[in-house]
């Protein structure tokens, strides 16, 4: 079997049905493993964050990476939502399926009860775009979970998150 997409070689060459079944099974296992990682990381992060007393709650970062720039903003307000305004020019970076980046971020936001906004203003190389997103995400998380010495309570006017 030799697949093509949009006139480009998809790079999948399988000699017989048994090899094809093995390749598909491996792909399904990789996606299932990624889904478990997404779920587990988000849950562990939420548990580590605890009741959020004394944290800043909000965080944001704008991060340039070569020709790309990503803006990431988070709110640990307890209402999960993902806004993902990203255009990627490649389907894979190395062996990584770029569509998994959005799914990872959605799962993380859902597990943490976090509002997450990711916007890429521009960028041509999908590797640089994804690197800007995830480094910006890390900086925004650090900002949001950092201790605000002026706060001694939950960062909410309602007193609860």
Of residues 31 and 44, the one with the higher pLDDT is 44
Q: What's the confidence (pLDDT) of residue 18?
A: 64
Beta strands at 8-13 and 96-97: parallel, antiparallel or unpaired:
unpaired
Distance of CA 7 to the CA centre of its chain: 30
Structure tokens given for 76: 């640990």
Least confident of 19-23, 36-40, 60-64, 133-137: 19-23
| Residue 141 and residue 46 in contact, taking contact as beta carbons nearer than 8 Å | no
d(CA 106, CA 114): 9
d(CA 101, CA 125): 15
| pLDDT above 80: residue 107 | yes
pLDDT tens-digit map of 111-144: 889 999 999 999 999 999 999 999 999 999 999 9
């Amino acid at each position: 079997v030799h697949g093509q997409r949009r006139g480009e070689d998809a790079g999948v060459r399988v000699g017989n049905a048994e090899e094809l079944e093995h390749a598909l099974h491996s792909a399904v296992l990789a996606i299932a493993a990624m889904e478990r990682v997404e779920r587990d990381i988000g849950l562990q992060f939420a548990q580590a964050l605890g009741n959020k007393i004394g944290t800043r709650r909000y965080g944001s970062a704008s991060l340039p990476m070569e020709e790309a720039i990503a803006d990431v903003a988070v709110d640990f307000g307890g209402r999960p939502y993902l806004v993902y305004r990203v255009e990627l020019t490649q389907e894979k970076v190395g062996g990584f399926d770029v569509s998994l980046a959005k799914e990872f971020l959605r799962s993380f936001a859902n597990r943490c009860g976090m509002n997450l906004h990711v916007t890429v203003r521009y960028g041509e190389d999908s590797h640089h775009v994804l690197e800007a997103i995830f480094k910006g995400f890390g900086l925004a998380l650090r900002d949001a979970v950092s201790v605000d010495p002026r706060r001694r309570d939950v960062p909410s006017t309602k007193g609860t998150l």
